[in-house]
Structures are given as structure tokens and as C-alpha cells.
Chain A
Amino acid sequence: RKEVEQDPGPFNVPEGATVAFNCTYSNSASQSFFWYRQDCRKEPKLLMSVYSSGNEDGRFTAQLNRASQYISLLIRDSKLSDSATYLCVVSGSQGNLIFGKGTKLSVKP
């Protein structure tokens, strides 16, 4: 079983839609949680860190449920430029990052 599991999608949504991604992780000792976005053949870019209290950055809201080992990302009012692969990421015991396989989002006009 992979340490970080997420639905690969693709999620095809119209502009303006709200879309939610979910992710589960297996190591209850993980301390840090992130969402990264990755465009095709480009580097992962940090979208936001995820905290137990939940956090919001503009149209993006992330939530962490430590008891369920569950992380979510909500994107409101989707833009064409949101089209990318969204990677759920947790910190490993070595300080490295452990990535999920990513959820592909395609926002259509």
C-alpha cells in the first residue's frame, strides 16, 4: 500500500466550478503536510501547507484530519490556469517529502 493515496482523476470541470481533492496517508507519525501543483514536465510548486486548524489562501482551502489521516484541498471558482496535477505530500521520518501520485485537474472553458 502506498504511503500517500489520492484519486488520480482526471477531474474535468468547467470554469467557475468548485472541485475537491482528497488524500489519505498511512504514517500517523507524519508531522508536515502540503499540497503541491505540478504542470506537465515542470517542477512541483508548493501550493500550500496544511494545518489541523485548516487554512485558506484565496480560492484554495486545505484541511487536515489527523485522526482519520485525511487531507483535502478545495478549489473554488476554478480558472483555466488551475489545470495541473495536484500532489498530496507528507513529510517522511528523514525530513524528505513523500508524494502521492497526484490528481489531474482539467478546467474547461
Chain B
Amino acid sequence: AAGVIQSPRHLIKEKRETATLKCYPIPRHDTVYWYQQGPGQDPQFLISFYEKMQSDKGSIPDRFSAQQFSDYHSELNMSSLELGDSALYFCASSLVQGSYEQYFGPGTRLTVT
């Protein structure tokens, strides 16, 4: 079965640079969530989209923005990167009208140097 696709899998950036992470949800899933997992931490919710509209925001810094496109893929844009942004960034998708079960992509490992 098709899974959530994320790209790139690994990204190295310098402080103050920008980064764009991409997520392709499972076909027919209409909701996308972004999570950040720091070293030794549990995943923290950043932002979500339902039917291409932002539905909820969590602990997403103002330096970050995201959107969902007409083909349901989503992009997380990160600017003025800081060392503390180094983390695993997961995208998850779900069928809102289902059981709220979320399926995670393999993640993008961002390293800021």
C-alpha cells in the first residue's frame, strides 16, 4: 500500500538559511500534519491542513510557514534557521472522517550547522 512520502530525507543547512520540506500524503487522505521531533524527544505538533486549508497550529515558530496544494501535497518552509531547528520533521496524513489514525512518513532529518 502507498505510504506517506517525504523529501528530502536528509538536509544540511547553515544558520540563517532557508529550507523547504515536502510531503505527499497517502492517496485519498485529505488531512496533513507536521511534527517536529528533537533528539531524545517525542514528536511535537506543528501545523495541520484539511482540504488545502490550514486547520490548526501547534508550536510552530513564526519563522516557519506551510501550505497544502491542490494535489494535497504539503510544504513546510523554514527561514532564518537556528541550531535548535535541527530535528526530525515528520509529516502524517489521515482521513478526517475516519478514526483519526495518522500515518507517518519516513521523516526529513534536518541538520543546521
Measured CB to CB, the residues of A under 8 A from B are 31-32, 34, 41-46, 49, 87, 91-92, 94-102
User: Which bucket holds chain B's interface residue count?
Assistant: 20 to 34
Describe A's contact surface by its main secondary structure. Answer: loop
A-B Cβ contacts below 8 A, count = 57
Measured CB to CB, the residues of B under 8 A from A are 31, 33, 35, 41-43, 45, 48, 55-58, 88, 90, 92, 96, 99-107, 109
Contact status of A95 and B48, CB under 8 A, knowing A43-B105, A43-B106: yes
Contact status of A43 and B104, CB under 8 A, knowing A49-B99, A96-B48, A99-B43: yes
Contact A96 B58 (CB under 8 A): yes
The answer for the CA separation of A27 and B29 in the assembled complex, in Å, is: 27
The answer for the CA separation of A41 and B111 in the assembled complex, in Å, is: 14
